[in-house]
Amino acid sequence: MELMSLSHIVILVFLIVAAISAIMAEDLLSAVILYSAYSFTIALTYLVLRSDDVAMTEAAVGAGVTTLLFLAALSKTSTKEEK
């Protein structure tokens, strides 16, 4: 197996694990961090596929700005659920 196809498989496996972990996370902060890892992995996938402009946009918007907005929204909410 070529090294390049092996790296594609490793990236794909990490992408799937990050997506499932972000969905299954019970803590909101963990979900935001895992979503950021998922978005960064998507950017890495675009980079491997030689789509540099889309990779840079995904890294800036998906992993950067969206994560900051989620963290800002999370800081405005309470940490404990009210019953």
Give CA–CA dist 32/47, Å, rounded.
23
Structure tokens at 34: 């895992």
Q: Which two tokens stand for residue 68?
A: 């900051």
Q: Per the structure block, which two tokens stand in for 3?
A: 């090294």
pTM of the model: 0.83
Residue 82 confidence (pLDDT) = 61
Domain ranges of the chain: 3-75
Q: Compute the distance between CA of residue 50 and CA of residue 44 in angstroms, rounded to an integer.
A: 10
For 61, which DSSP code? I
Q: 33-75, pLDDT tens digit by residue?
A: 999 999 999 999 999 889 999 999 999 998 889 999 999 999 9
Does the pLDDT at position 17 exceed 90? yes
